[in-house]
């Protein structure tokens, strides 16, 4: 017998009341807090989001505070979460909500989807969780629960699969309060019905078709496996008169608006030392000397697995201001402590944390 959606919804809501995690945006379901949390949770694990969320709300406690903030401050508060377009979209959405919706975050999913950075899932989640509307919101955790409960044999990311999951999630709403039901199915997937499900702890064990058929490991059906691409890059920390050179990336493109050490992809046939010299010349027209190799930083970004060769460099003697910027909009010469202020990509921040003492020593000796 197939599970009855309203009954499943009731069981999920009872389970959630006892087992749901105490998360800061769940305490009063303020729409702004829910919106921030959902944007942060795109592409980021819950355990990382909680700390970032609390710092964010201290820095930008309201939609007005966020809209009034300079983009540089917004990107800095986001530093380390990655996918920085989320921060810029949230910043733009705050202004649009203030000026186009009277400061009230819309409850209608179609209206929400017209805001930058909000797709079908986020629109459904904000409508359901913030406004308690019976709108389905299905993340990867909910997909596992629904696929196993109803033995959904469709690839999770196929159009048919997504439509089926939304239909099933919508049916759960008859069994409880929409915001509770939406969170309960996702929470069960996060805490119990994971990639290796703990079926003995599940309140739905007796209803689960995949459990009855012995195929929990085969549900949900995966989509096409992501292929990760290796990428070898070089970057240089250029020192001059006690300061370090950084440049700001163009607003459009990868890591738009963030500050970085110049560098780029290592080309075929060249050594990392040759690569960093070439990249500096191409990007800034600065001629430099490679002083020493600091080491390697390994970093993951979307589909890339990055190996970054990091070098300590000095000018070969040239003016301390670049003749041209070909891959940036601004540049600055900062002290090592001042480098804590600008927003930087995670790999470059890792570089500073890993090699900061050696950079400091080189600055003292210069």
Catalytic residues: 38
d(CA 123, CA 126): 5
- How open is the CA angle 293-278-354, to the nearest 5 degrees? 30
Element (H, E) at 310: strand 304-315
Closest CA to 358 of 273, 234, 237: 237
| Cis peptide preceding 166, ω within 30 of 0 | no
Q: Give 3-state DSSP helix, strand, coil % of the chain, rounded to 5.
A: 50, 15, 35
Closest CA to 31 of 108, 121, 126: 126
The string of DSSP letters for 76-127 reads HHHTTS--THHHHHHHHHHHHHHHHSTTPPP--HHHHHTSTT--HHHHHHII
d(CA 136, CA 146): 12
> Positive or negative CA dihedral for 177, 179, 185, 189?
negative
- Asked if residues 233 and 265 have their Cβ atoms less than 8 Å apart, the reply is yes
Distances (CA, A) of 105 to 6, 99, 125, 301: 29, 11, 13, 31
Burial of 214 (0-12, 13-18, 19+ CB in 10 A): exposed
- Asked if residues 338 and 242 have their Cβ atoms less than 8 Å apart, the reply is no
Cβ neighbours of 350 (radius 10 Å): 17
């Amino acid at each position: 017998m197939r599970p009855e959606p309203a009954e499943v919804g009731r069981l999920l809501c009872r389970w959630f009341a006892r087992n749901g995690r105490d998360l800061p945006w769940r305490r009063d379901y303020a729409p702004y807090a829910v919106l921030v949390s959902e944007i942060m949770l795109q592409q980021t694990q819950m355990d990382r989001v909680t700390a970032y969320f609390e710092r964010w709300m201290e820095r930008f406690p309201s939609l007005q505070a966020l809209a009034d903030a300079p983009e540089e401050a917004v990107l800095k508060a986001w530093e380390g979460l990655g996918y920085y377009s989320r921060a810029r979209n949230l910043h733009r959405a705050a202004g649009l909500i203030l000026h186009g919706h009277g400061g009230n975050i819309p409850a209608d999913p179609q209206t929400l989807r017209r805001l930058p950075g909000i797709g079908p899932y986020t629109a459904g989640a904000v409508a359901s969780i913030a406004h308690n509307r019976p709108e389905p919101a299905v993340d990867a955790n909910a997909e596992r629960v629904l696929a196993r409960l109803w033995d959904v044999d469709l690839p999770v990311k196929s159009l048919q699969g997504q439509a089926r999951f939304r239909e099933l999630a919508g049916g759960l709403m008859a069994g409880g309060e929409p915001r509770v039901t939406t969170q309960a199915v996702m929470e069960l997937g996060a805490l119990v019905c994971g990639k290796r499900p703990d079926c003995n702890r599940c309140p739905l064990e007796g209803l689960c078709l995949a459990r009855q058929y012995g195929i929990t490991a085969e549900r949900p059906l995966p989509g096409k496996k992501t292929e990760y691409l290796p990428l070898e890059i070089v970057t240089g920390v250029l020192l001059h008169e006690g300061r370090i050179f950084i440049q700001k990336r163009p607003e459009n493109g990868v890591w738009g608006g963030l500050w970085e050490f110049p560098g780029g992809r290592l080309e075929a046939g060249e050594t990392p030392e040759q690569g960093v010299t070439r990249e500096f010349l191409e990007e800034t027209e600065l001629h430099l000397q490679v002083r020493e190799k600091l080491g390697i930083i390994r970093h993951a970004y979307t589909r890339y697995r990055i190996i970054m060769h990091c070098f300590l460099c000095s000018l070969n003697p040239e003016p301390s201001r670049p003749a041209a910027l070909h891959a940036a909009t601004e540049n600055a010469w900062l002290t090592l402590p001042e480098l804590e202020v600008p927003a930087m990509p995670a790999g470059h921040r890792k570089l500073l944390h890993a090699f900061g003492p050696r950079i400091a020593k080189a600055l003292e000796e210069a």
